Amino acid sequence: MSAAAPVLEVDGLTLAFGGVKALDGVSLQVRPGSITSVIGPNGAGKTSLFNTISGFYRPGAGRIVFRGDDITQVPAPRRAKLGLARSFQNIALFRGMTVLDNIKLGRHAHLKTNLLQALAYRGAAAREEAALRADIEQRIIDFLEIDHIRHASVAALPYGLQKRVEMARALAMQPQVLMLDEPVAGMNREETEDMARFILDVRDEWGVTVLMVEHDMGMVMDLSDHVVVLNFGQVIAAGVPRDVQDNPEVVRAYLGSGDMSRLRAGAAAARAGMAGAAP
């Protein structure tokens, strides 16, 4: 792991809905160039944490520091422009639009064309649109292997490809940190293997730091440099995958007992399944 300063730091984050605390003093650090995974049972606060980091929720206490700057009060669109991009647990694409048009929307935060130029669609606006399309088609679409569906309607695509398009839209935002909320949820074994490969390549080839919420324990243990475990809105463990997997508090949170062999067996079985699906 890099000894560099964290690219993203969450310090003492608290979030409540009425009398229910979704987050209770959550702290974590994401190092540049890492894949950090947040895991925990259903209702542990994982998506609430993502929504707070990305600016959809305003915390009751604590702070969020991105690339050395406190962004706790910064609106969500501004955070996206600064370099925080995310996907969603439930697919949030525009189903009546094509794949290409959905992906292009991810770059709008960075466009310099003003409203009048965009309406006229000449000069600077046309040049910027052409450059945007070329970059998306030559880099993102080719990278995620979706060239064959670029003009297809999102509504006509199978679930696994829709998840890939959503990742493409997030990459179009030119992120420093890519936040993936359950990127392989609902996918079959082959689709999961493909997505795992894309996540590794985003980090290794593009230099993008990844913060991921995921339930697939095999994928988490194989891909992650650092794992943070939430339960009832609190961090109960953090560290390298092996240490977290062997932590009795983590086992109890998932299984209700201290039988660590069951968690190890589940993670091992998931890893074996992914390896068997590889070409």
Cβ atoms within 10 Å of 176's Cβ, excluding its own? 17
pLDDT for the residue numbered 258: 44
Average of per-residue pLDDT across 37-53: 93
Residue 25, CB-side half-sphere exposure with 13 Å CA sphere: 3
- Please give the full DSSP string across 217-247, using - where no structure is assigned: HHHHHHH-SEEEEEETTEEEEEESHHHHHT-
Pairwise CA distance, residues 26 & 12, whole Å: 5
Cβ atoms of 60 and 38 closer than 8 Å: no
Q: pTM for the full model?
A: 0.81
Ordered structural domains, the chain, with CATH: 1-83+175-279 (3.40.50.300), 93-174 (no CATH)
pLDDT for the residue numbered 115: 42
pLDDT for the residue numbered 21: 92
121 pLDDT above the threshold of 80: no
Start-end of H helices in the chain: 46-53, 76-82, 99-105, 115-120, 124-135, 142-143, 159-171, 189-206, 217-223, 241-245, 248-255, 260-277
Average of per-residue pLDDT across 113-118: 46
Cβ atoms of 227 and 240 closer than 8 Å: yes
Cβ atoms within 10 Å of 114's Cβ, excluding its own? 10
Return the structure tokens found at 226: 């650092």
Pairwise CA distance, residues 139 & 204, whole Å: 15
* 260-277 helix and 248-255 helix, angle to the nearest 10 degrees: 80
pLDDT, one tens digit per residue, over 143-189 is: 999 999 989 999 889 988 999 999 998 998 889 999 999 999 888 98
Full strand arrangement of the beta sheet holding 234-239: 84-86, 177-181, 209-213, 35-39, 226-231, 234-239
pLDDT for the residue numbered 131: 65
Residue 153 DSSP label: B
Residue 98 DSSP label: B
pLDDT, one tens digit per residue, over 65-102 is: 999 999 999 999 899 889 999 988 667 787 888 998 88
112 pLDDT above the threshold of 60: no
117 pLDDT above the threshold of 60: no
136 pLDDT above the threshold of 80: no
Instruction: Give the mean pLDDT of the chain.
Output: 84
pLDDT for the residue numbered 263: 52
139 pLDDT above the threshold of 50: yes
262 pLDDT above the threshold of 80: no
